[in-house]
Structure 1
Amino acid sequence: MQKIIFLDIDGTLVNEKGMIPESAKLAVRKARENGHIIYLCTGRSRGEIFDDILSVGFDGLIGGAGCYIEVEKEALFHEKFKKTDAQQILDFFYEKGIDFYLETNTGLFASEKCKQNVFGFIAKLKANNPEFLKEIEKGIMPFYEALIEGEELIREDINKIIFLDSTTPIDSVMKEFEARYTVIPSTVPVFGSNSGEISLLGINKATAIEKVLTRLNITKENAFAYGDSFNDIEMLQFVQHGIAMGNAHEIVKSVADDITETVDENGIYNSFEKYGLLG
């Protein structure tokens, strides 16, 4: 029977160096050849899902942690921040000296020192992984180069707001905003322990998956989801087969139906094979 599979990107399909293991590419291709449907289901917005990922081949995507849905290359759903709400959040960041970037479907718009600080995070990653310099350059530098500086930041097309590590504790950011928005810590671990993302309340990967299943007339009993981060929790709980990566946070593993190996230990391929998705 045909299944539908929702794959997170960072920490699930892509490793911490920004690379997709060949085994994961093979798993996606073989599963699709076997008649299954595969969607990306990521916190990334459309503007930061680069060609090296899209070229693997997918049937659709959920971006911005659920605020954007693309089915058969057409937008099914797109919910964005109001300009007044964005202004309020950015004013707080300016006051606290927190660098950030705005995710939109057309690009990543950065605060004044954001790109400089991201470069520092990448340099630290390189220093800690000297044997993987080429992989890091190929996998992560396209993201750095995509950051756009000097543009208007109070916009009407914001899907999600990412903030970098700072001296402001993550608990303070959560206390300020969690009543009105979804605040998830450390969605990009390299950005530091006080980093995170702010997205629209009531919208997550599970709400988006439900819309896709309804559109395609597929039950959640025939759905798989793979993830590793806090923003994957709802979708792992929602589908029949919620599978955490071996590198997932322990809280994420605790809500999953199964746990596979890490990204670099062929976790995607091994799990697809285990569940008979490869034919």
Structure 2
Amino acid sequence: MKKIIFLDIDGTLVNDNGVVPESAKFAVQKARENGHLVFICTGRSKAELYEDILDIGFDGIIGAAGGYIEVEEEVILHETVDPEDVRHLVDYFSQHGIDFYLESNGGLFASEHCKKHIRSIIDKVIEANPQAKAEVEKGILPFHDALIEGENLLRDDINKISFLGSDIPIEKISEEFGGKFNIIPSTVPIFGENSGELSVPGIHKATAIVKLLEHLNMDRKNTFAYGDGMNDLEMIQYVQHGIAMGNAKEALKLAADDLTDTPDEGGIFNSFRKYGLI
């Protein structure tokens, strides 16, 4: 029977250096050959889905943490942040020295010091793991290079906002924006303590999966999902088979139906084989 599989990207489909293991590519392609549907289900916006990921081949995209759904290039949902909430966020983050970037389908728009901050993070990762230099440059540098500086940040096409760690506690950020955004801490661990993302309230990966299943006329009992972070929680809880990666947050592992290995240990491939998807 045809199954539908939802894959988070960072820490799930790709490893810590942003590279897709060959075992995961093979698993996705083989599952589709076997008649199953495979969808990206990520916090990333479409502008962050680079060729090395899309060229694997997928049946569609859930992006922006559930705010965007695309099926065979047909857009069936696209939620954006209220421009007044964007203004509030830009003013607050700028005032408090929090580096951030605004995510739209047309690009990633960085605050004044954000790109330099991310470059310093990448340099520290390479310094700590010099043997991973080539992989880091392949996996993470394209994201850094795609960041657009110097543009007007007061925009009406924003899907989601990601922010880097700072001295401002995540609790204080939650107090400021809790009524206007979903606030998920530490979605990209290398961004540091007090980092996270802000997305459209009432929208998450599971709400998008519900809408997509209705569109495809498919049943929840045929669903699988794989993730590692807390923005995967609702997705993992909703699907029939919610599977946490070996590197997942402990709270996600506790909520999952099953565990698999890390990306570099063949987590996707091993689980697909376990469940007869390949």
* 1:156 partner letter: D
| CA shift digits 1:99-140 (9 cap, x unpaired) | 100000010000000000000010111111111110000111
* 2:109 partner letter: F
- When the two chains are superposed, the root-mean-square deviation of aligned CA atoms in Å is 0.6
Counterpart CA distance in 1 for 2:126 and 2:272 is 31
The equivalent residue for 2:105 is: 105
Q: SS in structure 2 opposite 1:187?
A: coil
Report matched runs for 1:4-19 at 5 Å.
Answer: 4-19=4-19
The equivalent residue for 1:75 is: 75
Report matched runs for 1:227-242 at 5 Å.
Answer: 227-242=227-242
* 1:14 partner letter: V
Counterpart CA distance in 2 for 1:225 and 1:157 is 28
Does 1:219 pair with 2:219?
Answer: yes
1:190: how far off? 0.6
Counterpart CA distance in 2 for 1:135 and 1:153 is 31
Q: Report how many residues are paired.
A: 278
The equivalent residue for 1:20 is: 20
The equivalent residue for 1:88 is: 88
Identity across the alignment (%):
60
* 1:203 partner letter: I
Counterpart CA distance in 2 for 1:232 and 1:274 is 21
Moved over 6 A (4+): none
Q: SS in structure 1 opposite 2:102?
A: strand
1:179: how far off? 2.6
The equivalent residue for 1:201 is: 201
Counterpart CA distance in 2 for 1:157 and 1:178 is 21
Q: SS in structure 2 opposite 1:97?
A: coil
Q: SS in structure 2 opposite 1:92?
A: helix
* 1:273 partner letter: R
Counterpart CA distance in 1 for 2:159 and 2:277 is 32
| CA shift digits 1:144-202 (9 cap, x unpaired) | 00000000101010000011111111111112112321000110111001110001110
1:94: how far off? 1.2
Report matched runs for 1:235-254 at 5 Å.
Answer: 235-254=235-254
| CA shift digits 1:13-72 (9 cap, x unpaired) | 001101000000000011000000000000000001000000000000000000000011
TM score, norm. by length of structure 2: 0.99
Q: SS in structure 2 opposite 1:158?
A: coil
Counterpart CA distance in 1 for 2:199 and 2:87 is 14
TM score, norm. by length of structure 1: 0.99
The equivalent residue for 1:50 is: 50
The equivalent residue for 1:267 is: 267
Counterpart CA distance in 2 for 1:154 and 1:179 is 20
Structure 1 stretch 46-55 or stretch 176-185: which is displaced more? 176-185
The equivalent residue for 1:128 is: 128
Counterpart CA distance in 2 for 1:179 and 1:259 is 33
Counterpart CA distance in 1 for 2:210 and 2:31 is 21
Counterpart CA distance in 2 for 1:211 and 1:204 is 11
Could you list the runs of 5+ residues in structure 2 that have no partner in the other structure? none
Counterpart CA distance in 2 for 1:252 and 1:128 is 27
* 2:53 partner letter: I
Report matched runs for 1:173-212 at 5 Å.
Answer: 173-212=173-212
* 2:68 partner letter: Y
